[in-house]
């Protein structure tokens, strides 16, 4: 499974940007196999994560003409984007609360 993660400045978003994001999400799910999407606001940033079955699906979505045009038009609204192979992300931790 792959995740595409991007960060955007929440303060720079307007209605046109929000409409484009909604359309790109629709396109990702309906035509390119997106499995899930999560967006959260952290301070002044919006962090969005989309999950994909494989990297080929992400590549097809990124190459879609409508998506490419939207990326070019909205580039000043977001500032970071990257792709993660979720299978490679492993984290282990233990939580041992101190006894009272």
Q: Is the pTM for the entire model greater than 0.75?
A: no
Q: Which domain holds residue 78?
A: 2-84
Residue 11 CB burial class (10 angstroms; 0-12, 13-18, ≥19): exposed
Residue 100 covered by a domain: no
Between strands 78-85 and 2-9, the pairing is antiparallel
- Residue 68's CATH number: 3.30.70.100
Residue 49 covered by a domain: yes
Residue 89 covered by a domain: no
Q: What is the pLDDT along the chain (100 residues), one digit of tens a residue?
A: 888 888 887 766 678 877 888 898 999 999 999 999 998 888 888 888 899 999 899 889 889 998 888 877 766 666 666 567 665 545 545 555 656 5
| Count of structural domains within the chain | 1
- DSSP labels, 11-24: GG--HHHHHHHHHH
């Amino acid at each position: 499974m792959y995740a595409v993660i991007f960060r955007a400045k929440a303060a720079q978003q307007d209605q046109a940007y929000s409409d484009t994001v909604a359309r790109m999400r629709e396109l990702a799910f309906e035509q390119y196999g997106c499995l899930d999407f999560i967006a959260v606001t952290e301070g002044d940033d919006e962090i969005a994560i989309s999950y994909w079955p494989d990297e080929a699906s992400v590549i097809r979505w990124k190459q879609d003409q409508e998506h490419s045009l939207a990326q070019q038009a909205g580039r000043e609204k977001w500032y970071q984007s990257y792709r993660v192979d979720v299978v490679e992300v492993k984290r282990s931790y233990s939580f041992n609360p101190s006894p009272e």
